[in-house]
Amino acid sequence: MSEKSNAPLQTVGFIGGGNMAYAIASGLLKKGVLKAEQICVSATNLGNLQKRWCPIGVTHVTTNNEEIVSKADTIFICVKPQIFPHIVGDIESAAQKLGANGFRKLYVSIMAGVTLERLKNALPTIDGNNLVRAMPNTPMQVSAGCTVFCRFGRSSTTEALYEAMKFMFEALGLAYEVKESQINAVTGLAGCGPAYVYEFIEALADGGVMQGIPRDMALRLAAQTVMGAAKTVLDTGKHPAVLKDEVCSPGGATIHGVHALEQGSMRGTVMNAVERASNRADQLS
């Protein structure tokens, strides 16, 4: 079945209209999972919201967080962790006004390092089983994202919304339900990982420019090379080391390049980046 045939009949709200919220919403619109009229978003600067969100068809933009909670069935909390204490009052106020109706809403936090326990303590009006912690990444906007998520337990009132949330994440790339103890590690790997890859693409292109390739061509060749290599790993199921060996002919150009990467401790540096980002997510907890 297509994404359209399974599109959840609901309103999806975003508290926070930054890069991650935009990546999720724009990706869902491109895939036809949601229509623009099913989306609403709030942030502190109405002008910035209108400038970015209205061109993709989302016209319900507001500075009123309570409005999002009242209107939406699934609410994505997409603010930075340090902003969360400033919006808790808005969410709680709206939930209290909704009364029993508020128990039929799903709240999905994508805030790095903010645990389910912290969410539950900060939002006592909301049933803990209606709280979800998720870690997506920005390539969702091109349907090539990675998302992991977890929850306290099942809630009969929001089970359909939870399944719809899973469907939305799966429509935009890989999606896994995991233990909460794994979330911060995934943050360091997949949540922050696109930035590492963008740096590699830029460096690969710079190397091409240094060898005389025009900048635009070098950048497109570098990006296509990374995309092609990643797709080969996913489609063939082969270990990257096996695929690397298939490219490295004895005495050839590739093995000399790989030698240079090893001299620069590329693998150790990347592993350190994942470790440091994961540790920072732990600190945010």
Spatial separation of the C-alpha atoms in residues 255 and 251, rounded to whole Å: 7
Residue 1 within any structural domain of the chain: no
Query: Using one digit for the tens of pLDDT, what is the confidence trace for 162-218?
Result: 999 999 999 999 999 999 999 999 999 999 999 999 999 999 999 999 999 999 999
Q: Is the separation of the CB atoms in 105 and 75 below 8 Å?
A: yes
Catalogue the E-assigned strands of 31-83: 39-42, 60-62, 74-77
65 annotated binding-site participant: yes
Q: Is the pLDDT of residue 100 over 80?
A: no
Question: What is the DSSP pairing of strand 74-77 with strand 106-109?
Answer: parallel
Q: Which residues 6+ apart lie within 8 Å of 252 measured at CB?
A: none
Last-in-domain residue among 178, 203, 221:
178
Residue 200: strand, helix, or coil: helix
In this structure, the answer to whether residues 37 and 100 fall within a common structural domain is yes
In this structure, the answer to whether residues 256 and 124 fall within a common structural domain is no
Share of the chain above pLDDT 70, in %: 97
56 annotated binding-site participant: no
**How far is the CA of 196 from the CAs of 145, 258, 282, in angstroms?**
15, 18, 19
Last-in-domain residue among 159, 178, 197:
178
In this structure, the answer to whether residues 164 and 57 fall within a common structural domain is yes
Domain CATH code at residue 273? 1.10.3730.10
207 annotated binding-site participant: no
126 annotated binding-site participant: no
In this structure, the answer to whether residues 208 and 274 fall within a common structural domain is yes
* Other CB atoms within 10 Å distance of the CB of residue 54: 13
Burial of 148 (0-12, 13-18, 19+ CB in 10 A): buried
In this structure, the answer to whether residues 272 and 173 fall within a common structural domain is no
Residue 101 within any structural domain of the chain: yes
Residue 211 within any structural domain of the chain: yes
Domain CATH code at residue 116? 3.40.50.720
Domain span at residue 109 reads: 12-178
In this structure, the answer to whether residues 86 and 171 fall within a common structural domain is yes
The predicted model gives 94-114 an average pLDDT of: 89
Q: Is the pLDDT of residue 7 over 90?
A: no
Instruction: Provide the pLDDT for residue 1.
Output: 35
Q: What are phi and psi of 46, to 5 degrees?
A: -65, -40
Q: Is the pLDDT of residue 4 over 80?
A: no
Q: At CA 127, angle to CA 58 and CA 88, rounded to 5?
A: 55
Residue 259 within any structural domain of the chain: yes
Last-in-domain residue among 178, 200, 220:
178
Instruction: Provide the pLDDT for residue 103.
Output: 80
Spatial separation of the C-alpha atoms in residues 38 and 12, rounded to whole Å: 6
Q: Is the separation of the CB atoms in 8 and 127 below 8 Å?
A: no
In this structure, the answer to whether residues 111 and 245 fall within a common structural domain is no
In this structure, the answer to whether residues 198 and 251 fall within a common structural domain is yes
Q: Is the pLDDT of residue 102 over 90?
A: no
Residue 149 within any structural domain of the chain: yes
Residue 6 within any structural domain of the chain: no
Residue 208 within any structural domain of the chain: yes
In this structure, the answer to whether residues 93 and 160 fall within a common structural domain is yes
15 annotated binding-site participant: yes
Query: Using one digit for the tens of pLDDT, what is the confidence trace for 35-50?
Result: 999 999 999 999 999 9
Q: Is the pLDDT of residue 10 over 60?
A: yes
Query: What is the residue whose two structure tokens read 């091109």?
Result: 142
Instruction: Provide the pLDDT for residue 206.
Output: 98
The predicted model gives 129-148 an average pLDDT of: 94
20 annotated binding-site participant: yes
Average pLDDT of every residue of the chain: 93
In this structure, the answer to whether residues 90 and 152 fall within a common structural domain is yes
In this structure, the answer to whether residues 53 and 153 fall within a common structural domain is yes
Q: Indicate the number of domains in the chain.
A: 2
Q: Is the pLDDT of residue 254 over 90?
A: yes
Instruction: Read off the tokens for 137.
Output: 């990444």
18 annotated binding-site participant: yes
In this structure, the answer to whether residues 173 and 206 fall within a common structural domain is no
